[in-house]
Amino acid sequence: MVWTTQDQVAEARKRPLSAAGTLYGALKPIMENGGADLDNATLLDRLVQNGSLTAETAKRHLTRINAFGAVNAGIDNTYEILLLVRSLPQTYAYIDGAKLLVETRRLAEVGFVPERLEKTDQVMDSVRKGFAEGAGGFGLAIVHEALGDRHVTIAETNPAPPDHPYINQVSLAYTLLTFSYTPLIGLKEVGEDVPEGDALLTWMGVWKIIGSAMGIEEGGLPDTFDEARHLWELIVASPGYGHSDEGVTLLQALKEHVAAGQKADTPVDLIGQHGDAAVLELLKPKKAGT
C-alpha cells in the first residue's frame, strides 16, 4: 500500500534506495552473474526459480510488459517533449534532488546542461524501449544498472545531510512520478489522448515494475492513476518539496538551454507554455529581502 500520511513520508525520506523487498534487491545476485545479458522474460523466470517472485506475479509482470509497447507508441512524441518542459522542471522542486544535482555540478552550470540532458534522454529512451520490446527486451537489466546501481554509486560518493540521504525513498518516488504520472496530466492539458482502461493499468503497472527495479519500496509505487495522484499530492505537501536556490539555478539553466536550441530570433518559452505552472511559480528567483 502506498504512503498515505505525512509521518510515513517523513520516515521514508530517511531511508535510502532499498534492496530489501524490491526487484532491485532480488535481481542483484542475478545481475552480478551475467544478468545484464538476459531479457525481461528470462530475468522474471530466474526470479521465480530462486523464489523471489511467485509464478503468478511474474506472469502478471510479463503481461504488462508485453502490452507496454502499444501504449508507449501512442503517446511517444508528445511524451518526449513533456519530459523536457514539464518533468525535468518538476524534479527541481524536490529539494534533495536539486541540491544533489548542484553539488555534483550535474546540471547547475549551463555548460553541463546539454551533456546531462542528453544522458538523461538516452537513459529514459533505453528504459522505455527496453520494456516496449516486450518479453525479449532488456528493460529490467537496464533499469537495475542505469537507475539502481547508478544511484547507489552517486549516493556513496556524495555526502548527504545527517538526517536523510539526498537519494532517498521519497526523492526517488517523486522523480518516478514525474516520468509516469505527471506527463499524463500534461497530455490532457494539451488536448492529447491519454491511456485509459487496461492501457492505463499497463502504463502504471510497468512504471511500478521500473520503480521496484531501481530500489523504490512498495509505499512509493502506486498501482493506479488515482493512487499516483494521491501520492503526488502527499509528497508535494511534504517538507522535502519546495523552493530552493538550487532549484532556481537548475530551472534557469534549463530554460537557457531550451531557448538556445531554437533557431528563431525570439525563442518561444516552451517551459512557460507547457510546464507545471505551480512549479514555475515556486522556482521563481526570490527578490532581495523576501
| Each residue's pLDDT tens digit, 10-35 | 999 999 999 999 999 999 999 999 99
Q: How far is CA 15 from the centre of its chain?
A: 17
Greater confidence, 250 or 139?
139
The band of 141, judged by pLDDT with boundaries at 50, 70 and 90, is very high
Read off the pLDDT of each residue in 159-169 and give the average, rounded to a whole number. Answer: 91
What does the alpha-carbon distance between residue 201 and residue 264 come to, in Å, rounded to a whole number?
40
Lowest mean pLDDT among 99-113, 128-142, 144-158: 99-113
The band of 121, judged by pLDDT with boundaries at 50, 70 and 90, is confident
Per-residue confidence (pLDDT) for residue 288, from 0 to 100 = 59
What does the alpha-carbon distance between residue 143 and residue 258 come to, in Å, rounded to a whole number?
27
What does the alpha-carbon distance between residue 170 and residue 168 come to, in Å, rounded to a whole number?
6
The type of residue at 17 is: L
The band of 118, judged by pLDDT with boundaries at 50, 70 and 90, is confident
Read off the pLDDT of each residue in 178-206 and give the average, rounded to a whole number. Answer: 95
Per-residue confidence (pLDDT) for residue 207, from 0 to 100 = 98
Q: Are 92 and 98 in contact (CB under 8 A)?
A: yes
What does the alpha-carbon distance between residue 73 and residue 56 come to, in Å, rounded to a whole number?
27
Lowest mean pLDDT among 170-179, 221-230, 264-273: 264-273
Q: How many Cβ atoms from other residues are within 10 Å of residue 134's Cβ? A: 18
- pTM comes to 0.94
Q: Are 18 and 220 in contact (CB under 8 A)?
A: no
Q: Check pLDDT > 90 for residue 63.
A: yes
Q: What letter does residue 3 receive in the DSSP assignment?
A: -
The band of 114, judged by pLDDT with boundaries at 50, 70 and 90, is confident
The band of 173, judged by pLDDT with boundaries at 50, 70 and 90, is very high
* Radius of gyration for the alpha carbons in the chain, expressed in angstroms and rounded: 19
C-alpha torsion sign, points 95, 117, 180, 46: negative
The mean pLDDT value of the chain amounts to: 92
